[in-house]
């Protein structure tokens, strides 16, 4: 088109436009030239095209250096096109935002936010402008019918719809750039604030917090669904349980949520992280619940899933605690449907321990009945099957804990417990238990059953200790420092078990190995013929044998147990010897010498035990009743016995 033709075209357009622009519209004063009375659509489209001149021709993502001059020049068209401040800022914001969508330049987004902030609220507009904007309507035909849009709805609704779509899956769209998300949230909130003043939106009572919660819900559900699909694919390739992988992915998702997205959303919703954490806890809980309900035994799947689920739940609670005070947080925890990993896992662990212990005890009892407990050789002073016993114990204990899952909380408790258990067993193997079985005189089955009942009790204590530890919530940041104290209770139990076995070793030697010279024959023929000097040789042999087969660290404890058992045996013979022992008056002096071996303190402790003085009531450990022990103390002429009788039984010294 030539210059002459362009001039002619513009002249024709001017002739048509001027009469239309001079006609008044509703609410306008007659004779004022402000806009076309037939509608604003062409005016706005023309002004929109004029605003496009603010962009740099060489770089569409930047504004030209003459932007201020251009905008000032465009103001001269306001009266002709019917443009007001509200219309200008709205159109300019739309142009800038559309340019941002096209170019992805964040500078355009910031300019758009500035223009949206300049759009005056309804009460800030003049009466004439409000009437003018009210008259500007556009109609859109849809399947459900024709819908009318106000001027602001025509421009801001597409912006709001686009931002809602982006923020409805912010995990996908803003995973690499949280700063961009902050701008999009600002645009969404500003658009929403302006649209709420429009007639159709004015009745809605949705707050900014409600809108943020909607974004969190939509995006988190979508991200969780994606993670679920990814986990199913990975699980098939790695043979890992999907729920364990899903818990790890959910925890990573929540960590990213807390560090990247929540600082932005929390500006408009202070409890945004609580909403996010609670929702993810519920989403994973819905997947975990069928697995928990079906868990009846301690399987590899349970060992892998439970720790991961518990770790996720602990992380959720930590995030909630970071927002709320302790009282408020506890109240919120009650609203959550907790996984109850502690209760279920404790039950499964105890069930597994009992089942495995039953297998061990059954095998050992069969070995006891079938084998003669002679040493394998002078160098290997233990029964031939004891090695197999320990192999069975180790195999059963390690059956479920040979995977990388030992690093997590649930596996750590049991694996560390197993290590401590084997360490304690190894100590006993080289000291007491191993040599206990090496004694040449076989034990009666009842006594062995008693021993294994003691071991059973030790296992029960250990299992209870593990369950108690699982019930405690361990903060992930301090877990490494707390691991040192995790099994203090177990160490005490093992030391107590070693003490009991040392004591039992002495009891077994006196009441079984030496039962004939000590229990059966002492004083039986006659007191002068059966003196205690006759026990020195067999006791010396037993002591030599013990000292040869036990380590130095436990020697004193085992020897003390033997001597204590010897004292108990002497008391049993003297005080409860039965009808086979008949003493004559002439034996009194000899028996008095033997009884002098008894320590007054031991008798006092025993009478306390029998009578319930100062301790739990029960029968004397020496088998004597209270009256017998009391008579012995009364015939003692030492100050300790006299003070005890006077204080506890009100017996004066003269009566004694």
Instruction: Identify the pLDDT of residue 608.
Output: 77
pLDDT grade for 618, boundaries at 50, 70 and 90: very low
Instruction: Identify the pLDDT of residue 9.
Output: 84
Least confident of 352-356, 395-399, 613-617: 613-617
Could you tell me which residues are beta bridge partners of residue 142?
145
Give me the mean pLDDT over the 619-637 stretch.
65
CA distances from 337 to 4, 281, 283, 292 (A): 80, 8, 11, 13
569, 519 Cβ separation under 8 angstroms: yes
Instruction: Identify the pLDDT of residue 176.
Output: 85
Please give the structure tokens belonging to residue 125.
């507009």
CA distances from 49 to 86, 108, 380, 618 (A): 17, 17, 101, 103
Average pLDDT, the chain: 77
Per-position DSSP letters for 217-241, written without gaps between them? HHHHHHHHHHHHHHHHHHHHHH---
Considering only residues 8 and 646, tell me which one the structure prediction assigns the higher pLDDT: 8
Please give the structure tokens belonging to residue 644.
């005890």
Distance (Å, whole) CA 445 – CA 449: 6
Write out pLDDT tens, residues 265-306: 999 999 999 999 999 999 999 999 999 988 888 888 888 899
Look at residues 435, 622, 597, 441 and name the one whose alpha carbon lies nearest to residue 514.
Answer: 441
Write out pLDDT tens, residues 241-260: 999 999 999 999 999 999 99
Please give the structure tokens belonging to residue 647.
């204080």
pTM for this entry: 0.59
pLDDT grade for 427, boundaries at 50, 70 and 90: very low
Look at residues 304, 188, 292, 182 and name the one whose alpha carbon lies nearest to residue 242.
Answer: 304
Give me the mean pLDDT over the 132-158 stretch.
82
Most confident of 288-297, 462-471, 604-613: 288-297
Please give the structure tokens belonging to residue 309.
């689920």
Instruction: Identify the pLDDT of residue 336.
Output: 84
Write out pLDDT tens, residues 9-56: 888 877 877 776 666 655 555 555 545 555 577 788 888 999 999 998
Please give the structure tokens belonging to residue 463.
């299992």
Look at residues 293, 295, 268 and name the one whose alpha carbon lies nearest to residue 214.
Answer: 268
Q: Is the pLDDT of residue 370 over 50?
A: yes
Residues 6+ apart with CB under 8 A from 18: none
262, 200 Cβ separation under 8 angstroms: no
Write out pLDDT tens, residues 196-231: 888 766 556 678 899 999 999 999 999 999 999 999
Distance (Å, whole) CA 466 – CA 352: 12
The phi-psi region of residue 145 (left if phi > 0; otherwise alpha if psi is between -120 and 50; otherwise beta) is left
Q: Is the pLDDT of residue 347 over 80?
A: yes
Size of the chain, expressed as the number of residues it contains: 656
Considering only residues 447 and 379, tell me which one the structure prediction assigns the higher pLDDT: 379
């Amino acid at each position: 088109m030539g210059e002459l033709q362009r001039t002619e075209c513009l002249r024709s357009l001017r002739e048509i436009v001027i009469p239309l622009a001079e006609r008044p519209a509703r609410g306008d004063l007659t004779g004022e030239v402000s806009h076309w009375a037939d509608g604003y659509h062409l005016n706005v489209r023309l002004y929109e095209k004029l605003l496009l001149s603010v962009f740099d021709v060489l770089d569409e993502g930047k504004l030209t250096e003459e932007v201020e001059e251009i905008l000032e020049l465009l103001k001269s068209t306001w009266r002709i096109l019917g443009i007001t401040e509200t219309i200008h800022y709205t159109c300019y914001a739309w142009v800038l935002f559309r340019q941002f969508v096209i170019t992805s330049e964040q500078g355009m987004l910031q300019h758009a936010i500035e223009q949206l902030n300049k759009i005056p609220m309804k009460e800030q507009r003049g009466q004439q402008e409000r009437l003018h904007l009210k008259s500007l309507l556009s109609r859109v035909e849809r399947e459900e019918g024709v819908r009318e849009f106000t001027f602001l709805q025509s421009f801001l609704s597409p912006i709001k719809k686009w931002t809602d779509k982006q923020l409805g899956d912010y995990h996908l769209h803003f995973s690499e750039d949280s700063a961009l998300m902050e701008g999009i949230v600002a645009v969404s909130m500003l658009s929403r604030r302006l649209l709420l003043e429009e007639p159709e939106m004015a009745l809605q009572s949705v707050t900014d917090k409600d809108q943020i919660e909607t974004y969190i819900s939509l995006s988190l559900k979508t991200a969780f669904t994606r993670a679920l699909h990814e986990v199913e694919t990975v699980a098939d390739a790695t043979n890992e349980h999907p729920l364990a992988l899903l818990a790890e992915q959910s925890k990573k998702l929540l960590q990213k949520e807390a560090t990247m997205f929540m600082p932005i959303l929390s500006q408009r919703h202070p409890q945004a992280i609580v909403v996010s954490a609670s929702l993810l806890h519920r989403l994973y809980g819905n997947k975990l619940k069928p697995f928990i309900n079906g868990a009846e035994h301690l399987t590899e799947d349970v060992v892998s899933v439970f720790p991961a689920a518990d770790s996720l739940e602990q992380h959720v609670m930590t995030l909630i605690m970071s927002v709320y005070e302790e009282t408020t947080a506890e109240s919120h925890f009650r609203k959550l449907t907790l996984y109850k990993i502690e209760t279920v896992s404790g039950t499964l662990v105890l069930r597994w321990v009992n089942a495995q212990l039953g297998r061990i005890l059954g095998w050992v009892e069969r070995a006891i009945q079938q084998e003669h407990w002679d040493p394998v050789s002078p160098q290997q002073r233990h029964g031939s099957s004891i090695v197999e016993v320990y192999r069975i114990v180790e195999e059963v204990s390690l059956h479920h804990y040979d995977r990388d899952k030992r690093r997590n909380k649930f596996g750590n408790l049991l694996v560390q417990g197993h290590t401590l258990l084997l360490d304690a067993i190894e100590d006993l193997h080289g000291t007491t238990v191993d040599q206990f079985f090496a004694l040449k005189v076989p034990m009666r089955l009842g006594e062995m059953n008693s021993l294994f009942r003691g071991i059973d009790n030790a296992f029960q204590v250990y299992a209870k200790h593990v369950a108690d530890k699982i019930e405690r919530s361990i903060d992930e940041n301090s877990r490494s420092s707390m691991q040192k104290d995790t099994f203090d209770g177990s160490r005490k139990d093992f030391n107590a078990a070693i003490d009991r076995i040392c004591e039992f070793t002495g009891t077994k030697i006196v009441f079984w190995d030496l039962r004939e010279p000590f229990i059966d024959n002492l004083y039986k023929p006659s007191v002068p013929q059966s003196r205690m000097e006759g026990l020195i040789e067999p006791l010396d042999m037993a002591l030599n044998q013990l000292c040869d087969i036990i380590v130095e660290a436990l020697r004193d404890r085992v020897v003390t147990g033997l001597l204590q058992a010897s004292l108990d045996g002497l008391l049993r013979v003297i005080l409860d010897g039965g009808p086979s022992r008949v003493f004559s008056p002439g034996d009194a002096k000899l028996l008095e010498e033997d009884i002098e071996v008894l320590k007054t303190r031991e008798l006092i402790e025993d009478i306390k035990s029998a009578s319930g003085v100062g301790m739990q009531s029960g029968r004397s450990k020496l088998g004597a009743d209270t009256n017998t022990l009391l008579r012995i103390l009364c015939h003692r002429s030492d100050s300790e016995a006299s003070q005890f009788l006077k204080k506890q039984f009100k017996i004066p010294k003269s009566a004694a």
